[in-house]
Amino acid sequence: MSAIEHLSGPDDLEDDEREAVETLLYRLADDEFVIAERYTEWQVRSPTLESDLALSNIAQDELGHARLWYDLLEDFGYTEAELLWERDPEDFRHSTMVELPFETGDWADAIVRSYLYDEAEALRLEALEDSSYPRIVDRVGKVLGEETYHREHATNWLERLAGTDDGREQVQNAVDRVFPHALTLFEPVDPDVERQIDEYGIRTRSLDELATDWLDRVVPFLESQGIETPVSNSSEVTTADLPDVRGRDGTHTDEWFDLYDEFTHTYRELGRDRADRIMSDPDDA
Amino acid sequence: MIWEVFRQEKSGGYHTHCGNVHAPDAQMAKLFAEVQHGRRKPTNSLWVVPQQEVAEVDAEEANFGGTTDKSYRWAMTYNRVDESFAEEVADSQREQETADRERDEVTAGGNR
């Protein structure tokens, strides 16, 4: 890619530059926030104390990452309440994979999802390391530093689950259910805006390229574990493989609206109109 | 399977026992130990050791320190020493250093 001109700070962006930056940030922040919400459901329910702590730790990491990205949206004047607690659930732009509920006790699903998610996460973060938006570049390293553990955790578990007939069957079932939704990780919020994101160099790999990179990684690995992936083409996302709801475009599963009601419940019940901050701003930390 | 976990705070320090984790193998034990024992306190390195590989000898089997009076081993005598003698040691040390320096000067002069 040719040399990219750096974008200005948040206050000096042109309207369409700002829209591109915001869109990218919503993709990142919403994914991280919602997957952390779902992981948290495993607390005190994981197969062992150790796996409970490991997944809770990963959930905490993802919440921390969400905070870093939402904080960059706050640069544009949004408050935490507007970004989360009072935001219309239809305006969330996460992939449907992260909102799907877990079946009770389906640990293989938690592992499969975290594997598919964290492989995609690593790729998209690498595509931000040389972003033209300096505020993003500042934070990518921090986030990437915690992703290695997530991938090791998921990969180690997958290899062990796939090592027995029973476990492999559970993994296969989870892959069959979750994989189509994982493809939505690479779906556009709005195709024109996504193109802008690439043209401005805010992201240095396009969604299609990222999808190909990801498929090149996860399909052979899953195959090496005796797991088949439900894709008609193993190097690009085909519309036929996608689910009806894709998250990114504002369409969601019904379960998302239940989850939204759940995590905003206390805020509404207490009649809050803003969120208190107990941690210092990431810029000051 | 239980793995005992030892944490080292700083490079060069001792690995100190800090707890254990359940894990099927060393790789998973490391992964779990990292979160359970390396996350909240300063950590430079962790060891995970299969519990059954830890050999133990305890006070029921062994007479640690023997059975006769060996209080001389504790070296408590030095706690009751009059420390003013240290000044003499320092004086003597200084005297020797001065002599040493003078000797050097004389030798250097002789070579000239």
Residue B80: its pLDDT value, please? 72
So where are chain A's domains?
13-269
Give the pair of three-digit tokens for residue A164: 């027995």
Dihedral in degrees, nearest 10, Cα atoms A127, A133, A136, A138: 110
User: Is B27 within 8 Å of A156 when comparing Cβ atoms?
Assistant: yes
Q: How far is A187 from chain B (nearest CA, A)?
A: 33
Q: In chain A, which residues have their Cβ closer than 8 Å to the Cβ of B24?
A: 160
User: Is B23 within 8 Å of A53 when comparing Cβ atoms?
Assistant: no
Specify the pTM.
0.85
Residue A101, classified by CB atoms within 10 Å of its CB into exposed (0-12), middle (13-18) or buried (19+), is middle
User: Is B35 within 8 Å of A54 when comparing Cβ atoms?
Assistant: yes
pLDDT digits (tens, 9 = 90+) for A191-239: 999 999 999 999 999 999 999 999 999 999 999 999 999 988 778 888 8
What does the alpha-carbon distance between residue A225 and residue A223 come to, in Å, rounded to a whole number?
Answer: 5
Residue B111: its pLDDT value, please? 52
pLDDT digits (tens, 9 = 90+) for A111-157: 999 999 999 999 999 999 999 999 999 999 999 999 999 999 999 99
Q: In chain B, which residues have their Cβ closer than 8 Å to the Cβ of A54?
A: 31-32, 35
State percent of chain A over pLDDT 90: 89
For domain A13-269, give the CATH number: 1.20.1260.10
Q: Which of A269, A284, A15, A92 is nearest to A83 (CA)?
A: A92
Q: Which of A113, A33, A103 is nearest to A67 (CA)?
A: A33
Measured in whole angstroms, how far is the alpha carbon of residue A18 from the centre of its chain? 21
CB of A53 less than 8 A from some CB of B: yes
Q: In chain B, which residues have their Cβ closer than 8 Å to the Cβ of A49?
A: 22
Residue A106: its pLDDT value, please? 96
* B46: CB partners within 8 A, 6+ apart: B5, B6, B7, B8, B15, B30, B33, B34, B37, B38
Contact (Cβ atoms closer than 8 angstroms) between residue A192 and residue A111: no
Best residue in A39, A50, A153 for a mutation probing chain B (most B CBs within 10 Å): A50
Q: CA B7, B9, B11 angle in degrees (round to 5)?
A: 110
Residue B22: its pLDDT value, please? 96
User: Is B22 within 8 Å of A48 when comparing Cβ atoms?
Assistant: yes
CB of A159 less than 8 A from some CB of B: no
Q: Is the pLDDT of residue A30 over 50?
A: yes
What does the alpha-carbon distance between residue A200 and residue A171 come to, in Å, rounded to a whole number?
Answer: 40
Q: Which chain B residue shows the shortest CA-CA distance from A58?
A: B35
Mark the ranges of chain B whose per-residue pLDDT is less than 50: 112
pLDDT, mean over chain A: 95
Q: Is the pLDDT of residue A64 over 90?
A: yes
Give the pair of three-digit tokens for residue B20: 């254990």
- ipTM > 0.90? no
Residue A1 binned pLDDT confidence (cut-offs 50, 70, 90): very low
* A134: CB partners within 8 A, 6+ apart: A6, A7, A9
E strand map for A57-157: none
User: Is A54 within 8 Å of B32 when comparing Cβ atoms?
Assistant: yes
CB of A54 less than 8 A from some CB of B: yes
User: Is A156 within 8 Å of B22 when comparing Cβ atoms?
Assistant: no
Q: Is the pLDDT of residue A3 over 60?
A: no
Dihedral in degrees, nearest 10, Cα atoms A214, A219, A224, A228: 150
Q: Choose among A50, A149, A160: nearest Cβ to B22.
A: A50
Residue B34, classified by CB atoms within 10 Å of its CB into exposed (0-12), middle (13-18) or buried (19+), is buried
CB of B23 less than 8 A from some CB of A: yes
Give the pair of three-digit tokens for residue A42: 């495993």
Residue B109: its pLDDT value, please? 63
